[in-house]
Amino acid sequence: MDFITLVRNQFLKEPRAYHPQHLTTPEKMIDIVSAWKGLELIIDDLIKRFGLSQDRCIEFGVEFGFSSVAFSNYFKQVTGIDTFEGDEHTDNKEAHYEKTKKSLLAYPNIELVKSDYKDWIIKDTSRYDLAHVDIVHNYKETFECGLWAARHSDCTIFHDTESFPEVKRAVIDIAKRTGQKAYNYPHHFGLGILVDRHSLRKKRRNQ
């Protein structure tokens, strides 16, 4: 992180507003109720705006798979990590791994893994093009999972920045820690966006 970025991030109070240049409906979607609905329209814009590769995507917090299916339209491989047992902020508290797995059989590029994020991040050293964090909406867990994601992906997005202030605070603090550019899309409960511009510039130079 250069000195100018370090100084700027120390005074970061609010991420820059994200204004998509176009909205695109993915070709294949799943018809289920989801708080994520509406955000699928900006995935293509994110990819094009930041020049993301479209090989690998990881998400923490799958629930019933709406976002997983949305990502599967754009990435060759989507890995979804979830306990599939709900948390203190979800309406569903029952185990639903088998139900979700069955409903996503039509999307072969989605791999579901029944795991807590804590167990996953201690063993995964991979690099991803996009990471999505939508776990229990507390500061500690969002920061811990999100920091790992930001260090292992070119772009990391966080759902519920508007409905849960602790999520937005974690995004801001991760931006300060990593020097990544922070944005916030205020619609559909809010989507925080972190972009690793250093990694993306390095990729472009090596192409």
Number of domains forming the structure of the chain: 1
Separation between Cα atoms, residue 152 and residue 196, nearest integer Å: 10
- Each residue of 34-69: b (16+ CB within 10 Å) or e? bbbeebbbbbbbbbebbebbeebbbbbbbbbbbbbb
Give the pLDDT score at 205. 83
Residues 146-171 have pLDDT tens digits of: 999 999 999 999 999 999 999 999 99
Give the pLDDT score at 9. 53
Give the pLDDT score at 2. 55
| Structural domain containing residue 24 | 3-206
Distance from CA of residue 131 to its chain's centroid? Answer: 4
Residues 36-76 have pLDDT tens digits of: 999 999 999 999 999 999 999 999 999 999 999 999 999 99
Query: Where does the pLDDT of residue 3 fall: very low under 50, low under 70, confident under 90, or very high at 90 and above?
Result: low
pTM of structure: 0.91
86 burial class (0-12, 13-18, 19+ CB within 10 angstroms)? middle
Residues 92-131 have pLDDT tens digits of: 556 789 999 999 999 999 999 999 999 999 999 999 999 9
Cα R_g (the chain), whole angstroms: 16
**CATH for 130:** 3.40.50.150
